[in-house]
Amino acid sequence: MIKRCVFALGLAASALAQAANPIVTNIFTADPAALVDNGRVYLYVGKDEAPEGGKDYVMNEWRVYSSCDMKKWQDHGSPLRYSTFTWAGRDAWASDIVKRNGKYYFYSTVDHKTIPGKAIGVAVSDSPTGPFVDARGTALVTNDMTKETSILWDDIDPAVFVDDDGQAYLYWGNTVMKYAKLKPNMTEIDGPIHTVGLEAFTEAAYLHKHKGTYYLSYSRHFPEETVVMTGPSATGPWSFGGVIMEKNSNVKTIHQAIVDFNGKSYIFYHNGKLPTGGEFRRSAAVEELRYGADGKILPVAQTAEGPAANPSPGCK
Ligand code: FUB
């Protein structure tokens, strides 16, 4: 009832007080990325702007929300658009963010103006809520740097992981998963681009580490389901670890991000469950994620309730 009132009134939502999934109900939000910083969790999404019945993505900007308990979310507006990258022509697609040396590096998919195809840019800010500026003035990855497939959208969906020894890695791809080391400045590729053969890999590669094990999750098949591989290092070798989340009913994509927050683990994803939602009108959601005694990630069901409130001490 509370959710319905907020939606119907169309509130500006500067201080959303949602209690369930989807997290945001006044706009459509897709491709969640998440960051935990100073006891607060930040959620970054692309805004799906396609009209009802639209036949393609319309995505111009990313938006940021944050929470102290995974239940009540605050709207921080839009800290950057595809046009933050002057070399980009359209498409604020999937992103990821990492904090390094006191700065926040936001990696994102956009369409390149002059090098045909999708590209990956990196923006930087002194704050998790922005504003962000282009950290390079050029793309970090362009379609002509990778030759494994002839499609124009194989260089999408960046995910960044910084290992305990300080080495940062960038993972990305559609159809073929690629990874490369990043230099300590976080804005340059260091060394060769590697490809990894993953069964029925579609997109949304994501790397996280839990109790010494490396987990590489990704979207498999199309329509997509979220699966996970496990390994002894950030570069594998990888063993199949099971299906984490079953495919959506009315959206072919699902795009996950996994973080630890206040002693628990969580998976963000998107679905089409908001009224008039669907393929190009998606909604970010979150669930608690649990590990078995053997370290295996247990399957996660999508719920309307979302996770229980988990107030983070000291979070203001
Ligand atoms: O939102 C556009 C694209 O759809 C993303 O880059 C993919 O992960 C899929 O969700």
Does residue 277's CB lie within 6 angstroms of at least one atom of ligand 1?
Answer: no
Report yes or no on whether pTM surpasses 0.85.
Answer: yes
Report pLDDT for 283: 98
Distance from C-alpha of 200 to C-alpha of 160, rounded to nearest angstrom: 22
| Residue 204 located in a structural domain | no
In order of 77, 176, 183, 265, the CA distances from 155 in angstroms are 27, 9, 19, 28
Domain that holds residue 41: 2-198+249-289
Kindly state whether residue 224 falls inside one of the protein's structural domains.
no
Q: What's the total number of domains in the chain?
A: 1
- Residue 43 in domain: yes
- Could you tell me which residues come within 8 angstroms of residue 44 by beta carbon, excluding any fewer than 6 positions away? 32, 33, 34, 35, 62, 63, 64, 95, 97, 106
221 domain-assigned: no
On whether residue 217 sits in a domain, the answer given is no
CA distance 77 to 56: 24
> What's residue 7's pLDDT?
36
Contact predicate 226/242, CB 8 Å: no
- pLDDT given at position 10: 34
| Angle value at C-alpha 131, between 135 and 309, nearest 5 degrees | 115
Protein residue closest via CA to atom 4 of ligand 1: 253
Q: 278 CB under 6 A from ligand 1?
A: no
- Structure tokens given for 179: 């990874």
Q: Please, are residues 190 and 200 in contact by the beta-carbon 8 Å criterion? A: no
**297 in a domain, yes or no?**
no
Say if ligand 1 is within 6 A of residue 46 CB. Answer: yes
pLDDT score at 14: 44
Rg (CA), the chain: 18
Query: Would 65 be classed as within a structural domain?
Result: yes
Does residue 190 lie within any of the structural domains? Answer: yes
CA of 46 to the centre of ligand 1 (A): 9
Instruction: Tell me the CATH number at 70.
Output: 2.115.10.20
* Complete edge-to-edge strand list for the sheet that includes strand 264-271: 257-261, 264-271, 283-289
Ligand 1 lined by 287 (C-beta under 6 Å): no
Blockwise average pLDDT, block size 10, the chain, 316 residues = 34 52 98 98 98 98 98 97 98 98 97 98 98 98 96 98 98 98 98 97 98 98 98 98 98 98 98 98 98 98 97 92
Sorted by sequence, the CB contacts under 8 Å of residue 27 that are 6+ apart come out as 47, 48, 63
158 in ligand 1 pocket by Cβ < 6 Å? no
Which residue's CA is the nearest one to ligand 1's atom 6? Answer: 94
For the CA of 46, the closest atom of ligand 1 is 1
Compute, in degrees rounded to 10, the torsion defined by CA atoms 126, 285, 154, 234.
70
Q: Which of 45, 108, 157 has the most ligand 1 atoms within 8 A of CB, as the residue to mutate?
A: 157
Using DSSP's 3-state secondary structure scheme, residue 72 falls into coil
